[in-house]
Amino acid sequence: MRVCIVYFSQTGNTQKIAQAIQKQMAKAAEDCTLLRLEEADPAVFSNYDLVGFGLPAFYFREPINVTHFFNDLPDQDPAGRPKPFFFFVTHGGTPGDVYSRIDRLAASRGLETLGFFQCLGVDTYPPFADRKPLTAYGHPDQIDLLQAQTFAIDIIHRAGAYLDRGELKKPQIPGNWIARTVAGFFSEQKIRMRMRQHLLPAKNILPEKCTQCGLCVENCPQGIISLNPYPVIDESSCIACYHCHRICPAGAIDCDWRVFKLMAGEYLRPRSKETSPDQIHYI
């Protein structure tokens, strides 16, 4: 059985789960390829017997670039039998409607969901990054990784039964009209509208602080930042991840989160006396 896993990760949470699953599957499968979304051609899934996808929950749903990946995915059931598929999700707060959305996107491309895995991942989204402690701090932890490995073994068994004998036990995919409604407020079109309205803040480049280190260019998942001589961002293709703002060591990409934090009720949160570490390492 040949397996391919594609994942999207910015801060390392989803990457850790992806590596744990790939390591376990590689022991049981003939081949298990692991690819970052940024380097994966959607056509790659056609070369494998079992395929999986890993992602973080963004704005109660999947990130925009993940949506595009599935929309560009060639049909995976040319013979009339869907290809076995699994997915895994990391999230800091509520995952919203991400599970049912990924299941529907997969089904639309001829993929049959055998199962899914979810766990907490420390939330460093900029407007919430000054929480003490950070939401889901310490996750994914060792227990999460062990559970991911157990999930991997189960999926290999399910895939074998499906491919060899057509046996399928459909998983119960979480989702309801409330989650779908909330996720609907953050469609690609509405996210771009909220960026234009500055309900999601503009990214203001501060030349006096910029050291031209290039970290924003190297780490942008869309590859839409260039140095000329300071960062220039093509907002038309931005997925509103704000990773450039998050990782800039000099604070040269400034965002005013006050309106967003007010709408999110962040100022009403009780303040904990606990403190979180001074530095989070991003992968």
The yes-or-no verdict on residue 27 having pLDDT over 60 is yes
The yes-or-no verdict on residue 270 having pLDDT over 80 is no
Helical packing angle, 98-108 and 64-71, nearest 10°: 20
The yes-or-no verdict on residue 280 having pLDDT over 60 is no
Banded pLDDT at 99 (limits 50, 70, 90): very high
Q: What mean pLDDT do residues 22-47 have?
A: 94
Q: Give the pLDDT score at 277.
A: 45
The predicted-structure confidence for 228-240, as pLDDT tens digits, reads as follows 999 999 999 999 9
| Average pLDDT value over all residues in the chain | 93
DSSP-derived 3-state class of residue 84: strand
Q: Give the pLDDT score at 273.
A: 53
Fold of 2-177: Rossmann fold (3.40.50)
- What ranges do the domains of the chain cover? 2-177
The yes-or-no verdict on residue 266 having pLDDT over 90 is no
For 132-139, which contacts have Cβ atoms below 8 Å and span 24 or more sequence positions? 132/271, 132/272, 132/273, 132/274, 132/275, 132/276, 133/272, 133/274, 133/275, 133/276, 134/92, 134/276, 134/280, 135/92, 135/93, 136/91, 136/92, 136/93, 137/276, 139/13, 139/90
pTM of the complete model beyond 0.75 = yes
Answer with the residue of higher pLDDT: 158 or 276.
Answer: 158
The yes-or-no verdict on residue 200 having pLDDT over 90 is yes
Q: What mean pLDDT do residues 250-266 have?
A: 92
Answer with the residue of higher pLDDT: 80 or 262.
Answer: 262
Answer with the residue of higher pLDDT: 223 or 280.
Answer: 223
